[in-house]
A = this chain, B = another copy of it.
Amino acid sequence: MPRCEPAPIIGRLMPDLGEFELIERFFTRPARRATLGVGDDCALVQPTPGTTLAVSTDMLIEGRHFLSTVPPERLAHKALAVNLSDLAACGARPVAFTLALALPRADEAFLAAFARGLFALADREACELIGGDTTRGPLAVCITVFGELPAGAALLRSGARPGDDLYASGTLGDARLALEAFRGQVALDADAFGQVRRAMELPEPRTGLGIRLRGVATSAIDISDGLTGDLGHLLRRSGVAAVVDVDALPRSAVLAAQTVALQRECLLAGGDDYELVFTALPSRRDAVAAAAANAGVAVTRIGRIEAGEGLRLIDRGGAAVASEFGSFDHFRA
């Protein structure tokens, strides 16, 4: 690594800029934590003694995971952020990542902007780029991220128990609202559009919160596919049911100004939220509040865990909300 493509099939990314130079120019920095970073066959990393390694991988494809309108800085940010969000959901501290990048052509302006967005977030999260692969192809970004956490301390999907409080971080639904605006399904003024577009394109991984929820939360998952879908995974893994107050779900002022039907669709089945949904004992409410305050992230109690199976939605008066989002059977995939 970097592995070069077999010469007979592969043209170079640029006439004057091959893969090797591209990596040297845009993606090579002095190794920090890594013993050996970009530029040998493998990167070498020395794990901290006694820690467990948390690993996650995500591939983003143009037109499926991002729109062609996204600026390269934001694409890079998001590709790394969605992976860091998986670390956050486990309570792992980011350490390093690898990047595989397929590009239709090696556009220098694109690469410079992509690298800028990538390293801005990576530096902030102290997460080091240790290796990569670049190739020509349909625009795709595949990142694998490594984190560390003390052995046995990981937040899992399987730890929720009846009686636990149910929480969500940040606000939900803005990314979905942005998508509706991009598709012309909803009209927003420029300020509102900029705000929800930012939520879609620059999600903030909740790594600081995840780390502080170790020993406090009983289970956690990050919301990438909509609250009901991802909460459904957590409930099934834990073998429990949940009741959620849809009126308690945290939302931005922009989303709160939409119709109730659209709000609920965005909140419950939005996708691309990258917030944490997690559970904790009612006796730990102060600890949850402290973790949230220390992480600088709002946390909202949205319901509770019950015995049984399935997800029940209610409004603030306690009445059942009949909804296509009421059953996560729709979201098994």
Contacts and interface: CB of A to CB of B under 8 A. Distances in A.
A327 interface: no
Contact residues of A: prevailing secondary structure: mixed
A238 to B, nearest CB: 12
A245 interface: no
Contacts of A220: 41
Interface in A121-142: 130-133, 135-138, 140, 142
Given A57-B142, A132-B57, A147-B42, A224 B4 contact: yes
B52 A20 contact: no
A152 to B, nearest CB: 9
Contacts of A142: 57, 59, 100, 140, 142
A44 B90 contact: yes
Contacts of A18: 332-333
A151 B36 CA distance: 12
A218 interface: no
A9 B64 contact: yes
Contact of A58 (B65, B90, B133, B156): B133
Interface in A1-28: 1, 3-10, 12, 17-21
A69 interface: no
A58 B100 contact: yes
Contacts of A54: 42-44
A157 B20 CA distance: 15
Interface centre among A9, A35, A43, A221 (most CB of B within 10 A): A9
A166 interface: no
Contact of A333 (B17, B96, B331): B17
A53 interface: yes
A272 interface: yes
A179 B8 contact: yes
Interface in A190-233: 220-222, 224-226, 229-230, 233
8 contacts: A4-B225, A4-B333, A10-B64, A20-B233, A20-B333, A43-B56, A55-B98, A59-B101
Interface of A: 1, 3-10, 12, 17-21, 35-36, 39-47, 49, 51-59, 61, 63-65, 82, 86-87, 89-90, 92, 96, 98-102, 130-133, 135-138, 140, 142, 144, 146-147, 151, 154, 156-158, 175-176, 179-180, 220-222, 224-226, 229-230, 233, 237, 269-272, 331-333
